[in-house]
Structure 1
Amino acid sequence: MATPLTLFDEDDMTEAPLLPHVRVRMTVAYDGTRFHGFAVNPGVPTVGGRLTEALERFLRHPIELTCAGRTDKGVHAHGQVVDFVTTEGVDLDGLCRAVNALCGPEVAVREPAIVPMAFSSRFDATSRTYRYTIHNDEVPDPFSVHRAWQVKEPLELDVLRLACDPLIGTHDFTSFCRRPKRSDGTEASLVREVRSARWEVVDDQTLRFWIQASSFCHQMVRSVVGTLVDVGRGKLTAGDIRGILAAEDRRAAGTVAPPEGLTLWHVGYPD
């Protein structure tokens, strides 16, 4: 049974009649080039801020937007997932059209659906898949400058692929993560389960790295890619990856890859 939602009149903020409410889930794609990440940050352009403004304009009431993963500044998404609460009977197709008109083409929503009130796009996710694109050529590509990392030195594909093997499984990824600060002074666990990690050849100048895990810690994918590129350049060996993991020391890994090549591609859920 739907639970009442208290709404307020925008002019005098007096309480309006109680209405049943529902939770809506949507898939979001965005070009993160001009955004300072996803999380709402007053005074700074963010994907979450842009989306919230558009949704509230259509729905005519405040919302609290939850996402599957807070991407950093400059990072893109193809399959980000968000959820929020609104009134029962909302026109989902009209909502998508309105949001896309207000936010497009940099931000676009699709696949709206009513989900159980207990659903959380963040905590119910069982997997997240990221894609990282590299333009491997001495000559820059103007058409991928905001979508790929240009690596001028030739990369050894066979060695890159060998270096993926030690990453798969459950490990402490302290060497590849920025440790989050907690208000209570405790340290968060950086143990993660990587289910797959592989390289794909797109064409003579383009490589893509795909990685899927139950979840990721801050800057984990970019740190892994930066270290793997050092392997491909010959600065490290594929065997060094296991030792870097075991070190549990951020200084043991390579440089963090730039954000423009990274895309949150897909978020998995139980059903």
Structure 2
Amino acid sequence: MSATPDLAGPVGRVKLVVAYDGSGFHGFAANDGVRTVMGVLSAAVATVVRQPVTFTGAGRTDAGVHGWGQVVSGDLPAGVDLVDLQRRLNKLCAPDIAVRSAAWVDDQFNARFSAQWRHYRYEIWNSPTPNPMLASRTWWVTTPLALWAMREAADAVIGEHDFASFCRRPKVPAGEPEPSLTRRVLSTRWSDVTDPGAGGDGRLLRFEIRANAFCHQMVRSIVGTLVDVGAGKIAPGRVPSILRAQRRQAAGQVAPPTGLTLWEVGYPD
């Protein structure tokens, strides 16, 4: 059994890489009265180290959104055995949450503010029939989608833009300025990742997007609009004008949260 950490002694900054199935959570961030990923994780850490803890997450995912490479950081007693901590957390939080790694980092490290980019994946099951094996992590779209058109349209969001057309505007107190919705998208990619040996009557399509940061519902709004492009409802060449409009009504539908995963967060070497 590991030694009990010294609660009054020195502390160190820890970085956890966390995966989770978001289906049973009301989002990632701690929120009193509802079950969230951060709430469950923080409570489990506090149980192990026997004191309250405060963690910062790299991104705030919505209810139903999943995580594979979410990063959290916070201070713990320096005597904590991180190998033992990871093992005990994975027992306490399974099967919905898994701590993939735990490491001591520089005291200046902050999961949110040290991040240089976030990378999301969105997966779509494109078929006339549902796939129960993929239902919890994909969006089932029955209309045949033109992948070439979605690829062409996705290219238009690369670069620095005001993404007001693809974001839910935040509520701002009277008299205060609205925060900027300008973000820098570094890359996008659509691919058909269907396993040819798995059989079935559909395609598994994957969209990947990397940016310095994202505003609320930005990825889901972009995916929903690109699916409208693939379905022939919006021409691929209209995406630049949708961006320039800076109105949410100019874009297409908002994709459901089920297909979205925070895949990776990038930091300086």
Normalised to the residue count of structure 2, the TM-score between the two structures is: 0.93
Equivalent in the alignment of 1:81: 71
Describe how 1:79-118 pairs up with structure 2 within 5 A. Answer: 79-118=69-108
Describe how 1:1-271 pairs up with structure 2 within 5 A. Answer: 7=7, 18-183=8-173, 185-203=176-194, 204-271=202-269
Letter of the structure 2 residue corresponding to residue 119 of structure 1: F
How many residues are matched? Answer: 257
1:82 match: secondary structure: strand
Letter of the structure 2 residue corresponding to residue 245 of structure 1: L
How far apart are residue 180 of structure 1 and its match?
Answer: 1.8
In structure 1, C-alpha distance between the alignment counterparts of 2:127 and 2:51, rounded to whole Å: 50
**TM superposition outliers: structure 1 runs of 4+ over 6 Å:** none
In structure 1, C-alpha distance between the alignment counterparts of 2:162 and 2:84, rounded to whole Å: 45
In structure 2, C-alpha distance between the alignment counterparts of 1:36 and 1:128, rounded to whole Å: 21
In structure 1, C-alpha distance between the alignment counterparts of 2:60 and 2:167, rounded to whole Å: 15
How far apart are residue 124 of structure 1 and its match?
Answer: 0.5
In structure 2, C-alpha distance between the alignment counterparts of 1:19 and 1:69, rounded to whole Å: 30
In structure 2, C-alpha distance between the alignment counterparts of 1:40 and 1:104, rounded to whole Å: 18
In structure 1, C-alpha distance between the alignment counterparts of 2:145 and 2:184, rounded to whole Å: 27
1:143 match: secondary structure: coil
Percentage of matched positions with identical amino acids? 54
1:148-186: CA deviation from partner (whole Å, max 9, x where unpaired): 000000000111110011100000000000122345722
1:178 match: secondary structure: coil
How far apart are residue 72 of structure 1 and its match?
Answer: 0.2
Equivalent in the alignment of 2:198: none
2:22 match: secondary structure: coil
Letter of the structure 2 residue corresponding to residue 108 of structure 1: A
How far apart are residue 19 of structure 1 and its match?
Answer: 1.0
> 5+ unaligned residues in a row in structure 1: which ranges?
1-5, 8-17
Equivalent in the alignment of 1:13: none
1:223-242: CA deviation from partner (whole Å, max 9, x where unpaired): 00000000000000111100
In structure 1, C-alpha distance between the alignment counterparts of 2:57 and 2:193, rounded to whole Å: 30
How far apart are residue 43 of structure 1 and its match?
Answer: 1.7
RMSD of Structure 2 on Structure 1 (CA): 1.4
In structure 1, C-alpha distance between the alignment counterparts of 2:172 and 2:112, rounded to whole Å: 19
